[in-house]
Amino acid sequence: MDDCIFCKIVKGEIPSFKVYEDDRVYAFADINPVSEGHTLIIPKAHAENLGEIAEADLMAIHRVSQKMYQAMRSALGADGVALVQANGKAVNQVVMHYHLHLIPRKNSESRLSVTSWELVPGDMDAIKVTSEKLAAVL
Ligand SMILES: [Zn+2]
């Protein structure tokens, strides 16, 4: 897409700190990092979200995420890596080109709020009904 910032990054029209590239995937440093090494993996082909991305691109991104996980552990000393991926403005997707965040973290750092929500037991009847709604369409 002509007005997509991530498509422009893939084409080299906007500079980025490239971490990895292959025929389907481009990975680069997030310039608003949550932690040292915060990286984005995107498909080269424009797709807005999980509903639009080609299955082969999705699989390629997750293969690369495994390599990135190992790289973050060995090169940065990360003790853990959070993978965060938002679909839609309701969950704060800002750039409307599919992207997977990889956020490395060390044990000595504070916990990421996105991975440390308070555990509150839910209503089992409501959980059952919701699970059945999902299962019915899968
Ligand atoms: Zn795009």
Q: Out of 38, 46, 62, 99, pick the active-site residue.
A: 99
The CA 131 to ligand 1 mean position distance, Å, reads 33
**Dist. CA 49–CA 57, nearest whole Å:** 12
> pTM of whole model > 0.85?
yes
Q: In what order do the strands lie in the sheet with 100-105?
A: 18-21, 25-29, 39-43, 100-105, 80-84
The CA 128 to ligand 1 mean position distance, Å, reads 38
Query: To 5 degrees, how large is the angle CA 19–CA 11–CA 103?
Result: 30
101 in catalytic set? no
What is the average pLDDT score of the chain?
Answer: 96
Q: What is the pLDDT of residues 47-60, one digit of tens each?
A: 999 999 999 999 99
Q: What is the pLDDT of residues 70-125, one digit of tens each?
A: 999 999 999 999 999 999 999 999 999 999 999 999 999 988 888 888 899 999 99
* CATH code assigned to 5-137: 3.30.428.10
The CA 136 to ligand 1 mean position distance, Å, reads 33
